[in-house]
Structure 1
Amino acid sequence: MTTDIMKPDHARNMRLIGHSDQGGRRDGIQVMVEGGFAYIGHLFSQGFSIVDVRDPANPKPAGYVRAPANTWNVHLQVADGLLLVIHGKDVFADAAFADEASYYKAAAGTALGTAAPTSSRNWDAGLAVYDIATSPGVPRRIGFMPVSGGIHRIWWTGGKWAYVSALLDGYTDFIFMTVDMSDPSNPREAGRYALPGMHQAAGEKPSWPANAKFGLHHAIVDGHIAWGAWRDAGLVVMDVADRANPSLIRHVNWSPPFQGGTHNCLPIAGRDLLVVLDEAVLDDFEDGLKNIWIFDIKDPANPVPIATMPPPSDQDYTHKGAHYGPHNIHENRPGSFQSSSLIFSTWQNAGVRVFDISNAYQPKEVGALVPPAPVGLMDKRPGKKPIIQSCDIFVDKSGLTYVTDYNAGLYIMEYTG
């Protein structure tokens, strides 16, 4: 396939600046940029890569850290001169999950066998800590916290407390865990919260259907409140004032009638708003329209939905193929680009979309960029097609936007609107 990697299929108030094939490992999930280097978790390459982005028009592969056998490092966080990387089962390397629906329509603990405490496993599981201050761009591992089934994603902006979604023996799916990072060489669990019905080993019984994925994707913590994206269970608001004993403030679920898959819950500073994204996880629009919602959270115990972002309208992406719909948003991390009115999001086969929520009741699209088709597939699962799948997004303080893809490498772009 011949592809001009710097010629977008569609662009509005955005332009491409640079591209990297990440040293030939073009599959990317979460991306963090710190000190002129991008740290990128892989979906299929079992590890994470480092890309030198000090010249954004000419990014250069700068390193790769291989994960242990059968393990992926899909998510990571950077702060305080440290890099935190998850270790969990490489789900899509397992033939049992060649059809994505077999993972997204089942409880993780049941699918991976960890719900039974005596189960065996062949992957590495936990939280790895790397020093990136001593030699920027050259991670040096200094610590590790074992977690029985593994971790999916982390929220950590520096300091003592990190927050992870953890798969623990005896639980049906990923739960919320607080982690004490005061000694980075020895992070340790401080507390946990699970929805009632998740602790199977304690005799609890789920009240939800077996094909509903009631597991935490991750939580964003603002002050003493954790806003948890609990996949098919929707929004779980938790009080974390006592990190050893997180407690429920409110659980709100809109699935059904909507499709579930809640992925991000971003509080908007100073506006009593929460942006909540439901992730599209299946090809060919099989899981239907997924929304990015805006909630009024003046009362955190009573979140009220007030609007949804308009879906892309420049072409019919529902019939383009592969995944169509939201996957991720830029999460306004300290030290990165922060805005109370602009929301940067990825829509997989519909690329990147920027929304203006100045009027929270009438959000509007103000920017878009759809990269061209990838030059080839890193995703070797049956039936996959060479269609752009914009995945994660990070916007640095200067406004440069870094976007990963399952197959196409790292794109660096800029919003010009």
Structure 2
Amino acid sequence: MTTRWLEHAQEHSDIEGFRLIGHSDLGGHGDGFQVIRRDELLYVAHLGTSPMALSVLDVSDPADPRLLHQIEHPRNTRCHKVQVAGNLLIQNNELPYWAKGADPAPITGLTVYTLDDPTQPRPVGFHPASGVGTHRLWFSEPPLAHISSVLPGGSVQSYEIVDLSDPMNPASVGSWSVPGTFPDDVDTWTRAEDQPQDGVHGVIPHGDRAYAACFDAGMAVLDISDPSTPQLISHISWSPPFGGFAHTTLPLPARGLVVASSEAVPRTLQGGDKRIWLIDVTQETHPVTFATFPDPRPPARHGVSSYHDLPGVFGPHNLHENRPGSYISEETIFATYSNAGLRVFDISDKYAPREKGYFVPPPAEGQEWSAMNDLYVDAEGIVFVTDRLGGGLYILQYVGR
């Protein structure tokens, strides 16, 4: 299917600023999600609608990705995030939203793999979580992993720092929770949507700071100089009056900025359109939102003025996260936008972000729309982006415009 589909996608995609060079259907399990490159290998996590948790591909020739190995997920469990650092690979274990009440119960927490053979990750450790389990991960400087996970007694996910010095026995070092996470919390952060999402969605650390995306509660800036006791420095929320569901909070430390995406999710549309925000954190005790990225618009051939008028969910999801060893820029921001595909923005003028490229593939066979949710850009500007609705992995060269 891959060669045929690549030709189909090259003919039927909306594309500008990119060149589509490769595709993988991930062995017929096209529900790709988070993706990360290490040397010549690409690790792709799966949404969980297929039996797979992880695919390992050889991408030494990006135009000809070769599937080397796959690992299945436990029943009624999704493992849609993946991170690699040192000799370890980690994946989340979480209850999928479509499997609530299913039997058997999910296995929730954090799975630790060794990469003694990088093509064959081998599980060696597990860090359990309560409730729905573990969602997002950041692991770039061993031995500490930064995860969002439900702690004992908590109702939603918290920020947890986990020590992987002994991969067979992961140990919790410290944690921080949105006020209102535990039944005896006196204070709670106000959230305005009719069906608010609480807790910590994900965290990106930089030095002794961590930037936590807190769903409808916005962003928290944390001091993690002592990982055992993360301390709140400040908090900012843009909901109300704008849509919440903060997904990714990407620090741009040289510019004193954070790029924050608000995820578009059907069950939390009450807050209106979701956007990507620029936040000034030069005075970290007083962060300020001051600009938003422009809304992507469909090409004229579609005959509509908004992606809201096309099938599927429209709005931001994840950003390329400037991981060490990847493409790193504080002026060029890559973002996934669900049915609006992959977009790239120029924020060299921070007050006037502008779009400068896009890629929207045709929907996978049997689907009405493509859902681009996650991506990774390597140091050479090769973009690996996934379509969670069965479209698999697309590989593009960013050429700018």
- TM-score w.r.t. length of structure 2: 0.90
Q: Using a 3 Å threshold, how does the CA distance of structure 1 residues 9 and 257 change in structure 2: closer, same or farther?
A: same
Q: Would you say 1:211 and 2:195 are equivalent positions?
A: yes
Question: Partners in 1 of 2:59 and 2:34 — Cα distance?
Answer: 16
The Cα of 1:166 is off from its aligned counterpart by 0.7
Question: Conserved in 1, the CA contact under 8 Å of 2:345 and 2:357?
Answer: yes
Unaligned runs of 5+ in 1: 97-119, 377-384
Q: Would you say 1:72 and 2:78 are equivalent positions?
A: yes
Deviation track 1:160-219 (CA, whole Å, cap 9, x = no partner) reads 21111011232121111111122222211011111222112x365756467211121101
Question: Partners in 2 of 1:145 and 1:350 — Cα distance?
Answer: 36
Q: Using a 3 Å threshold, how does the CA distance of structure 1 residues 24 and 287 change in structure 2: closer, same or farther?
A: farther
Amino acid paired to 2:203: A
Q: Structure 2 matches for 1:108-147, cutoff 5 A?
A: 122-132=105-115, 134-147=116-129
Q: Structure 2 matches for 1:261-340, cutoff 5 A?
A: 261-282=245-266, 288-315=272-299, 316-340=306-330
Deviation track 1:120-153 (CA, whole Å, cap 9, x = no partner) reads 9811111111112x22221111221122232101
* Secondary structure at 2:315 match in 1: strand
Deviation track 1:29-68 (CA, whole Å, cap 9, x = no partner) reads 1111112222112111252222222221111222211111
Question: Conserved in 2, the CA contact under 8 Å of 1:87 and 1:127?
Answer: yes
Q: Using a 3 Å threshold, how does the CA distance of structure 1 residues 386 and 137 change in structure 2: closer, same or farther?
A: farther
Q: Using a 3 Å threshold, how does the CA distance of structure 1 residues 167 and 121 change in structure 2: closer, same or farther?
A: farther
Question: Conserved in 1, the CA contact under 8 Å of 2:275 and 2:292?
Answer: yes
Unaligned runs of 5+ in 2: 300-305
Question: Conserved in 2, the CA contact under 8 Å of 1:7 and 1:371?
Answer: no
Of residues 238-247 and 144-153 in structure 1, the stretch that sits farther from structure 2 once superposed is 144-153
Deviation track 1:328-356 (CA, whole Å, cap 9, x = no partner) reads 10000001110111000111111111111
* Secondary structure at 1:232 match in 2: coil
User: 128, 142, 148: which is aligned to 2:130?
Assistant: 148
Aligned match of 1:61: 67
Question: Partners in 2 of 1:329 and 1:226 — Cα distance?
Answer: 17
Number of residue pairs matched?
384
Q: Using a 3 Å threshold, how does the CA distance of structure 1 residues 330 and 252 change in structure 2: closer, same or farther?
A: same
Deviation track 1:239-265 (CA, whole Å, cap 9, x = no partner) reads 111111111111111111111010000
Q: Structure 2 matches for 1:190-269, cutoff 5 A?
A: 190-200=173-183, 202=184, 204=186, 206=188, 208=190, 211-269=195-253
Aligned match of 2:302: none
The Cα of 1:404 is off from its aligned counterpart by 0.7
Amino acid paired to 1:11: I
Question: Conserved in 2, the CA contact under 8 Å of 1:175 and 1:193?
Answer: yes
Question: Partners in 1 of 2:244 and 2:351 — Cα distance?
Answer: 22
User: 308, 329, 347: which is aligned to 1:357?
Assistant: 347
* Secondary structure at 1:5 match in 2: helix
Q: Using a 3 Å threshold, how does the CA distance of structure 1 residues 284 and 294 change in structure 2: closer, same or farther?
A: closer
User: 362, 365, 368: which is aligned to 1:375?
Assistant: 365
Deviation track 1:298-339 (CA, whole Å, cap 9, x = no partner) reads 011111112111111244211112111111100000011101
Question: Partners in 2 of 1:238 and 1:374 — Cα distance?
Answer: 41
Q: Give the % identical residues.
A: 40
Question: Partners in 1 of 2:336 and 2:65 — Cα distance?
Answer: 21
Question: Partners in 2 of 1:95 and 1:360 — Cα distance?
Answer: 46
User: 181, 191, 205: which is aligned to 2:164?
Assistant: 181
Q: Would you say 1:386 and 2:392 are equivalent positions?
A: no
Q: Using a 3 Å threshold, how does the CA distance of structure 1 residues 268 and 9 change in structure 2: closer, same or farther?
A: same
User: 77, 91, 95: which is aligned to 2:97?
Assistant: 91
User: 312, 334, 349: which is aligned to 1:344?
Assistant: 334
Give the aligned CA root-mean-square deviation in angstroms: 2.2
Structure 1 outlier segments of 4+, above 3 Å = 93-96, 202-210, 283-288
Question: Partners in 2 of 1:324 and 1:414 — Cα distance?
Answer: 24
Amino acid paired to 2:157: F
Aligned match of 1:107: none
Question: Partners in 2 of 1:158 and 1:238 — Cα distance?
Answer: 18
Q: Using a 3 Å threshold, how does the CA distance of structure 1 residues 397 and 203 change in structure 2: closer, same or farther?
A: closer
Question: Conserved in 2, the CA contact under 8 Å of 1:198 and 1:205?
Answer: no
